[in-house]
Structure 1
C-alpha cells in the first residue's frame, strides 16, 4: 500500500516524512521498543539533559488520562494528572486537542491544532515521547494518544506499560500544580491517511458486507459485549447500542491483565485473536465508542505482530 499524507483540509501528496519508528541520524535514542516498562522509562529519564533550558532532545512523559463521560466517580484526566504524575510529565487532553468543528467527541484535530498543542506542551519534533495513562485505569486512553502522535508523524513515540506499575514499584512521582513548560516551535505536520478510516468509507464497507465480490475486512469492536450485542446502553445519552454488520466483539479488557491492567504478552494476545477466528492476512479496522479504546486493539495487534501494519487502520469517531 502506498503511503499518502495530507494536512486535513489540504491536498493529498506523496509522503516525505520518515517512518515514525525510524531513528533520526544525529543522535542515539534512549528507548528501542514501542511498549516500554517503568524500569526502561526511569532509566531513560536519567539520561535527559540536566537543565530545563537545554534545547537538546529529551525523553518526555505525556499523561493521556481520560475518563468516560459516565464515570461513576466523576473523575477527569487533568485532575488525576495534578494529583499524581511522573516527574516532568506534560498533559495531553483529548477533549481539547481535537477537531472543534466536528459535532462528535475528540475526533482527530487539524494539523495546525496538533502542532499548537505540541508546542504548548513544550515538545520538539526530535523529543522522544512516552505516553501513559492514569494509575486507576492502567491502559485506556494512552494508546489513542500514542496512535494520534504516529498519525501526525512524530518520529519517536512509545507507550508505558503502565503507570500503575510505575507507582507500585516505587519510581518517583510528583504531586500538586505541574510546571508550565516553555513553549516551543513545533512544525505543522502531515496527516497519514493510511492509518485512519472515515465515515463514508466505513458506511460503504457496512453496506457491502456479505455481498459477492466485496473485500473481506475484519472490523474489531473494543466496546463491552453488552453494548456490542445491543443489550446494554451506550454511555452517551440518545445513542443506541448494537454493532456494525460483520464486526467482531473484542472487549479491550480481554487484552489486559485483570490485576495490573498491563497489556498481555504477545503470545497471549495472538491466542485471543486466533480464538476469535481472525485471519491475519485480511485487512483490519479497529473500532469502539468514539475511537479511543479501539487503539488498544490496534496496539495489541501491533505488539503480537498479528496481521500487517499496512492493512491495519482505526475508525475515527467509531460507533458514535
Structure 2
C-alpha cells in the first residue's frame, strides 16, 4: 500500500479502538457517531487488507496484525502530538476543556473543594468530572484519554508517571467516651509498651469499607478479622455509625481528623502494620507534554503536595 492512500484520522480511530476494545467508546472519545466510526474502520480494513478487530463479548478483540501495528501507530501519533504541542499556548482563562480525574470517595472529600475553587478562580470555563474506576482500569484509562489524572494511594497502578502529593497513615476512629478510648489514653500516659497497648484494641469491633483493601489487610495481619461486624461501600457512611455505636473503623488520618473536629469522635494512632502510605497523582507518559494537563498537574502539586524536589517517577 502507499502512505498517500491513508487518512491520518483512520489511524486515530484505529488507536482509539485498539485501546478501548470498543468501537462505540472510540467513537465517543473522538466525537464521532458510531456509524461513522464503523465506516472509517471498514475503510482502514480495506486499505490494510486485514479485519483488524473481531467481535468479542460486548466489545472487539484485535487481530495479530492489529497488535503488531498498534505500537507503531501510537509512536507516530505521539510524535505528531508532541510536535504540535511545542508551539501550543494554553490559556486557562479561555479554556472550556473537561478534565476527568479518578478519585475515591475519600479523595473527592479531600481534594475536590480546593481544586474546584482553584478552577473557578484560574479557569472558570473548565469543567471537572470525578470518575472513580477499579484500580486495574486506571492506567489504561489514563493512556487512552478517558482519564486525565488519577489521585490517591494506588500501589497497583503501574505504567504511569507519578508524583507524591502527601503522606498519610491509617488510624482508628471511635466515639468519644468509648471504653477502649479511655483505657488507651491511660496506657499511653503510663508509657506502656506498644504490644501491651494493642491488646486493648483487640477488644474492639470494627466496621470497614470493602473497596479499601489495605484496611481489611491490616485487620487480617492483626488477627482481628473475626471482629469485623459491618462492611460498607463508602467511608462517608461510617462516622454517623461510629458516633452512635461501639464500632470502630480504620481510616486515613487526614480524613478522620475532619470528622473528629466536628465532635463526638476520638482518634487513636496505634502502631499498625501497613499504616503509613503515600498519596500520589498519576498520569500517562503519552500526555506528559499536553499544556493543559501540565497546568493541571502544576496546580494540583501546588495545592496539595508536601514540599519536595522529588521528580516524577517514570513508568514501571
TM-score (norm 1): 0.22
Name the one with the larger strand percent. 2
Higher RCO (C-alpha under 8 Å, 6+ residues apart): 2
TM-score (norm 2): 0.22
The structure having more radius of gyration, on CA atoms, is 2
Name the one with the larger helix percent. 2
